[in-house]
Amino acid sequence: MKPTHNSFCHYKFPSGSPWSRGSPRPSVSASSPLRASQVVKPGAGPPERVDPAAGRGFRRTDGTRAGAPSLAMDPECALLLPGLCAVLADPGQPVADDTCLEKLLDWFQTVTETGSSLRLLQDNPCLVELLSHVLGTQDAPAGLLSFALRLAGIFGAQESGFQYLQGELLSGLFGDAGPLGQAAWTVPSVRSGWVQGLRSLAQHPSALHFLADHGVLDTVFSLQRDPSLFVASAASQLLAHVLALSMQGAAGSPPAPQDGAWPTCARRIVGHVEESLCSTAAPQVTQALNVLTSTLGRCHGHWTKALWAQLSPLVARLLEREPVPAAHSLVDLLLSVARSPVFSSADSGPWDMAARTLSRLGPLQAGPLALGLLKLQHCPQTLRTQAFGVLLQPLACVLKASAQAPEAAGLLDGAPGSSVPVDSLLSSKSACVGLLCQTLALLEELQPLPQRPSPWPQEALLGAAVTMLRLCGGGAAPASSLGGRLCRTLAGCVRVQRAALDFLGTLSQGAGPQESVTQVFAALLECLESPDSSPTVLKKAFQATLRWLPGPPQPPSCCALSPHTLLFLQELLPVLQKRLCSPCWEVRDSALEFLTQLSRCWAEQADFRRALLASEVPRLARQLLQDPESYVRASAVTAVGQLSGWGLQPASTSPQHPGAQQGLLGELLHILTTDSEGFPRRAVTQVLTEWLRAGHADVAQDTEQFVATVLQVVSRDLDWEVRAQGLELARVFLVQTLGQPGAGCPYAVGLPVASSPSALPAALHALGRVRLLDFALCALLDCDRPVAQKACDLLLSLRAELARRGGLQEAGGSPDPAAVEAALRGWRTGEQGQPLGELAPAAMLAVLDAMDLEGFRGRLAESSDRVERSPQSLLQDMLAAAGVRENQADCY
């Protein structure tokens, strides 16, 4: 069977794909996506295609379908395995690239997870041979050695596999005699492979004995200080894992440390951690804390309490040092302990230590701990108060520094604790900015949580955010010297400005007194107005403004805007006007997005409509349809489309712009046809879909003509998102023409439809006139899967709807076989110049009926790289790379 070139699709189907629904394969026609084989002449041939972007799909010459990747060891892979092992072991062959080895390991991991590794090893002796070979080779390449170590670990994870390998092999690989002493040990990947192999291995008591007997732990301890961060981190993880495993093994009564009841491995690791915690070197302390954090975070056995009881005095001693070492790791550990279900709120130990840590650490380090504690439901109230105080301290300092009158500050009034550390921090610019940004981010995270402290100091926080914005804008006039310093540090600081605006936006969820809200609006306006506001700050200011503006009135247009909001709006629109003319495209874009969202909220609000129409904003927005920047054009399309949908078009457009005479629809179609960038075209299709859905006046004039024009333009578009959106528009038209399909699901049993049965032929004629089927069938062969999927769904829903309505009979008359055949042939060959043409409703139905759309959808649902992801393909690739086996099927 010769492939027929299909100009529509840039790929081909696998020749053996079961195209037809229900009919046996051998027939030529059966391999087409047609159901009624009789309408297709033998030899006409289906459009041969492979999976999208899947050249390797040709590899299968046996005719079987490349199904979902099989993860188990199948006979085909087993056949390839000896060859592969030989290639890997062959010093003359280059070792396959790292990613292949990684994939191979992943596969073996999956295979052993689903089956017995003993069986695997027995069935494939080449694997053990490979391991032995690597062990026996003095100067095995580092990549191969690392691979072998990890592979051995995977096989040894099951006790049976471990027993099978135990003996010389495992001790040779992981013991002193192995790579430890070799030159290859200097390569980080070998050390990493060694640790990871052990991590996989350590799953059962036998492995623990192995670790204890072969002196492996000492090496792991030393690897914690490895120059490679990956190795060091993996070593710490391994220790935590072994400790947990070892403790779990010692089931029964909680071990009492003093009587030496800890299992060997656990005893050694705990001893090592204790030693490290007493060390003066910060890295060692960090490692010990990390091991503890991982252990306590993961394991909730009854022994964790004993472990903590033994180690917490040492941790507490860290707090006495100046400065406190490894503060970040300490915070992680304390949070891990506090979160552990083993400790209840009645256990005062962890809480006391957290409280001491909060008071000992600087505000920058204590912040995350404070937030972590506040998130915990069972945290004692006093600690919560303390933690919240830590979070509020920097803002209280800002408020205090810039307060005109001392009583104005409302944060931490009368709370104990001094702001001395904060004061000192605020002296350096980077520290100050870092602290304020962190504080704002943490409070922002806390604000929406149900467990946030109550009462929430909304008003004071608003005041702090507004003050910070003023300080950044240089508008604040603090009286104190600290305020002066803050002013100098923060003036023009974009980072703090952005953080403060984000925070201010979050605070909009809580109400505030009118006075505060007025202040917020003033601060936002100041940001929006300032010529020095950077585009990112402006964007944030727009976002915050949207969040502060009241939502759409409920019910619409019954209540007027509050006088404050109206006043704000009147000041906002001139700013928006100016921003729409900004020379910086990011600003124009943000302003348009803001306009879109603003009008979405308030479009039905009479005061808003009046104010907007009185301003230049709608006209300026429309002018931006010609902007040189494509993002701006796209945003302008969305904004103007929406404004027009709400009847908020400019009263009169200036005649100098192209497309103005033909109205907005013409201008949008012009963009859809001619714009060289995808974004504006995507935006146009979305707007037009929305217009169709909402029955926009311009569309309602001649809907069929509108849909036909849009579909025709869209079908030629190079951007798949435009085509997909075109299908959405087609779907909307379909729904409007045929009525709502049964509950939106093609398979659901439909209720009796409101439209009269006699309307069906007329509706089908309408579909024919707009060439909807034509468009959808073309899209079915689209080279981009999402488009094809969407087209398939559309056709399925159409067919289901028609079937529900009684189908052919309703459509009137029986199909003309010649027309159907011609249509299908035309479709298969995908001749762009000769689309299906206007089909009679009956022919349309027949065409739909003849296609195996469900099967098609199933195939489309399969991931396009399913063939490449199969283990067999991987093995073949590796062999091919080594030149052992000719890979005949690579189409490239």
Partner 1 sequence: MKLYCLSGHPTLPCNVLKFKSTTIMLDCGLDMTSTLNFLPLPLVQSPRLSNLPCWSLKDGNAFLDKTELIDLSTVDVILISNYHCMMALPYITEHTGFTGTVYATEPTVQIGRLLMEELVNFIERVPKAQSASLWKNKDIQRLLPSPLKDAVEVSTWRRCYTMQEVNSALSKIQLVGYSQKIELFGAVQVTPLSSGYALGSSNWIIQSHYEKVSYVSGSSLLTTHPQPMDQTSLKNSDVLVLTGLTQIPTANPDGMVGEFCSNLALTVRNGGNVLVPCYPSGVIYDLLECLYQYIDSAGLSSVPFYFISPVANSSLEFSQIFAEWLCHNKQSKVYLPEPPFPHAELIQTNKLKHYPSIHGDFSNDFRQPCVVFTGHPSLRFGDVVHFMELWGKSSLNTVIFTEPDFSYLEALAPYQPLAMKCIYCPIDTRLNFIQVSKLLKEVQPLHVVCPEQYTQPPPAQSHRMDLMIDCQPPAMSYRRAEVLALPFKRRYEKIEIMPELADSLVPMEIKPGISLATVSAVLHTKDNKHVLQPPPRPAQPTSGKKRKRVTEDVPDCKALKPLLSGSIPVEQFVQTLEKHGFSDIKVEDTAKGHIVLLQEAETLIQIEEDSTHIICDNDEMLRVRLRDLVLKFLQKF
Asked whether 357 and 330 are in contact (CB, 8 A), the reply is: yes
CB nearer to partner 1: give 616 or 721: 616
CB nearer to partner 1: give 3 or 535: 535
> Binding segment for partner 1 among 242-250, 322-330, 486-494, 728-736 (CB under 8 A)?
486-494
Does position 530 interact with partner 1 (CB under 8 A)? The reply is yes
Burial class (CB in 10 A: 0-12, 13-18, 19+), 655: exposed
- Percent helix, strand, coil in the chain, to 5, is 65, 0, 35
Contacts (CB under 8 A) with partner 1, residues 121-160 = none
Does position 820 interact with partner 1 (CB under 8 A)? The reply is no
Dihedral angle of Cα 210, 212, 214, 216, to the nearest 10 degrees:
110
CB nearer to partner 1: give 551 or 583: 583
Whole-number Å distance between alpha carbons of 2 and 46? 10
> Binding segment for partner 1 among 167-175, 456-464, 481-489, 755-763 (CB under 8 A)?
481-489
> Binding segment for partner 1 among 368-376, 472-480, 692-700, 790-798 (CB under 8 A)?
472-480
Whole-number Å distance between alpha carbons of 419 and 496? 20
CB nearer to partner 1: give 575 or 732: 575
Whole-number Å distance between alpha carbons of 453 and 374? 8
Q: Shortest approach of partner 1 to residue 404 CB, angstroms? A: 11
Angle at 251 between CA 247 and CA 253, to 5 degrees: 105
Enclosing H/E stretch for 101: helix 98-114
Q: Shortest approach of partner 1 to residue 474 CB, angstroms? A: 6
Does position 474 interact with partner 1 (CB under 8 A)? The reply is yes
| Amino acid at site 480 | S
User: DSSP of 678-722, one letter per residue?
Assistant: HHHHHHHHHHHHHHHHHT-HHHHTTHHHHHHHHHHHHHT-S-HHH
The reply to whether omega before 323 is within 30° of 0 (cis) is yes
Contacts (CB under 8 A) with partner 1, residues 437-466 = none
> Binding segment for partner 1 among 235-243, 651-659, 805-813, 860-868 (CB under 8 A)?
651-659
Q: Shortest approach of partner 1 to residue 674 CB, angstroms? A: 17
Does position 619 interact with partner 1 (CB under 8 A)? The reply is yes
Does position 483 interact with partner 1 (CB under 8 A)? The reply is yes
Q: Shortest approach of partner 1 to residue 466 CB, angstroms? A: 16
> Binding residues for partner 1, how many (CB under 8 A)?
36
Does position 656 interact with partner 1 (CB under 8 A)? The reply is yes
Q: Which of 339, 485, 600, 804 binds partner 1 (CB under 8 A)?
A: 485
Does position 478 interact with partner 1 (CB under 8 A)? The reply is yes
Does position 477 interact with partner 1 (CB under 8 A)? The reply is yes
> Binding segment for partner 1 among 202-210, 214-222, 524-532, 553-561 (CB under 8 A)?
524-532
Q: Which two tokens stand for residue 570?
A: 């009147």
User: DSSP of 422-485, one letter per residue?
Assistant: HHHHTTSHHHHHHHHHHHHHHHHHHTT-TTS-SS--HHHHHHHHHHHHHHHHT-----SHHHHH
Q: Which of 66, 134, 504, 620 binds partner 1 (CB under 8 A)?
A: 620
CB nearer to partner 1: give 371 or 469: 469
Does position 616 interact with partner 1 (CB under 8 A)? The reply is yes
CB nearer to partner 1: give 299 or 639: 639
Q: 3-class secondary structure for 500-558? A: HHHHHHHHCCCCCCHHHHHHHHHHHHHHHHCCCCCHHHHHHHHHHHHHHCCCCCCCCCC
Q: Which two tokens stand for residue 164?
A: 């099978």
Q: Which of 117, 467, 533, 543 binds partner 1 (CB under 8 A)?
A: 533
User: 729's torsion region: left (phi>0), alpha (psi -120 to 50) or beta?
Assistant: alpha
Name every residue whose Cβ is closer than 8 Å to that of residue 300 and which is 6 or more positions away in sequence: 340, 341, 342
For 851, which DSSP code?
B
Q: Shortest approach of partner 1 to residue 629 CB, angstroms? A: 7
Whole-number Å distance between alpha carbons of 306 and 342? 11
Q: Which of 453, 484, 552, 678 binds partner 1 (CB under 8 A)?
A: 484
Does position 252 interact with partner 1 (CB under 8 A)? The reply is no
Does position 627 interact with partner 1 (CB under 8 A)? The reply is yes
> Binding segment for partner 1 among 18-26, 286-294, 393-401, 476-484 (CB under 8 A)?
476-484
Whole-number Å distance between alpha carbons of 59 and 222? 49
CB nearer to partner 1: give 516 or 530: 530
Q: Shortest approach of partner 1 to residue 149 CB, angstroms? A: 54
| Alpha helix positions (H), 581-702 | 585-602, 606-614, 617-623, 630-645, 663-674, 678-694, 697-700
Asked whether 264 and 256 are in contact (CB, 8 A), the reply is: no
Q: Which of 531, 551, 555, 752 binds partner 1 (CB under 8 A)?
A: 531
Q: Shortest approach of partner 1 to residue 285 CB, angstroms? A: 38
Whole-number Å distance between alpha carbons of 889 and 63? 13
Contacts (CB under 8 A) with partner 1, residues 209-238 = none
Asked whether 311 and 292 are in contact (CB, 8 A), the reply is: yes
Does position 532 interact with partner 1 (CB under 8 A)? The reply is yes
Q: Shortest approach of partner 1 to residue 678 CB, angstroms? A: 20
Q: Which of 459, 593, 629, 868 binds partner 1 (CB under 8 A)?
A: 629
Does position 491 interact with partner 1 (CB under 8 A)? The reply is yes
> How big is the chain, counted in residues?
892
Q: Shortest approach of partner 1 to residue 430 CB, angstroms? A: 15
Q: What is the sign, positive or negative, of the torsion defined by CA atoms of 14, 15, 16, 20?
A: positive
Whole-number Å distance between alpha carbons of 842 and 825? 17
CB nearer to partner 1: give 325 or 478: 478
CB nearer to partner 1: give 367 or 483: 483
> Binding segment for partner 1 among 5-13, 304-312, 323-331, 649-657 (CB under 8 A)?
649-657
94: three-class secondary structure by DSSP: coil
> Binding segment for partner 1 among 177-185, 203-211, 471-479, 822-830 (CB under 8 A)?
471-479
CB nearer to partner 1: give 366 or 476: 476
Does position 476 interact with partner 1 (CB under 8 A)? The reply is yes
Residue 573, CA distances (Å) to 409, 567, 598 in order:
33, 10, 11
Site string for partner 1, 546-585 (x = CB under 8 A): -------------------------------xxx-xxxxx
Whole-number Å distance between alpha carbons of 216 and 198? 9
Name every residue whose Cβ is closer than 8 Å to that of residue 700 and which is 6 or more positions away in sequence: none
Q: Which of 192, 623, 635, 685 binds partner 1 (CB under 8 A)?
A: 623
Angle at 621 between CA 616 and CA 623, to 5 degrees: 100
Whole-number Å distance between alpha carbons of 346 and 348? 6
Q: Shortest approach of partner 1 to residue 492 CB, angstroms? A: 8
CB nearer to partner 1: give 604 or 616: 616
Does position 769 interact with partner 1 (CB under 8 A)? The reply is no
Q: Which of 209, 488, 564, 716 binds partner 1 (CB under 8 A)?
A: 488
> Binding segment for partner 1 among 214-222, 314-322, 377-385, 469-477 (CB under 8 A)?
469-477
Whole-number Å distance between alpha carbons of 805 and 752? 9
Q: Kindly list the residues in this chain that would bind partner 1 in the complex (CB under 8 A).
A: 474, 476-479, 483-485, 487-488, 491-492, 530-533, 577-579, 581-585, 587, 616, 619-620, 623, 626-629, 654, 656-657
